[in-house]
Amino acid sequence: MHYTRPAIAPLFESAADAFGKRVVGIVLSGQGRNGAVGLAAIKSKGGLALVQQPGEAAAPDMPKAAIAAVSPDSLPVDAIARRVAQFCYDAEL
């Protein structure tokens, strides 16, 4: 099922299983669909699923696949770090 090595999807799935809503998964520019299934696992456990906006990605296949599979938050790269920081801050409250 995972034809890319190293594949990010199994890592995302393991992190979701182990840490649930405390996980942040981020899919950036890349080829293929790697990451979409794992990002879905993160979101299903209450974690934060983020994707680089495909229009600014050098290779938009991975972000597009993740958006189609998961409906994650799609942000410009410069906004992703702020969103992660906010997620971590909110988790501490």
pLDDT tens column, 34-92: 889 999 999 999 999 999 999 999 999 999 999 999 999 999 999 999 999 999 998 87
Distance of alpha carbon 32 from alpha carbon 45, whole angstroms: 24
Cα(12)–Cα(82) distance, integer angstroms: 21
Check residue 53 and give its pLDDT.
Answer: 97
> pTM, whole model, 2 decimals?
0.89
Q: What is the pLDDT of residue 34?
A: 83
Q: Is the peptide bond before 63 cis (omega within 30 degrees of 0)?
A: no
Q: What is the pLDDT of residue 91?
A: 80
Q: Out of 3.40.50.2020, 3.40.50.300, 3.40.50.720, 3.40.50.180, which CATH number does the structure's domain 8-92 have?
A: 3.40.50.180
The answer to whether 34 and 26 are in contact (CB under 8 A) is no
Rounded CA separation 82/93 (Å): 17
With cut-offs at 50, 70 and 90, classify the pLDDT of residue 26: very high
> What's the token pair of residue 36?
């979409």
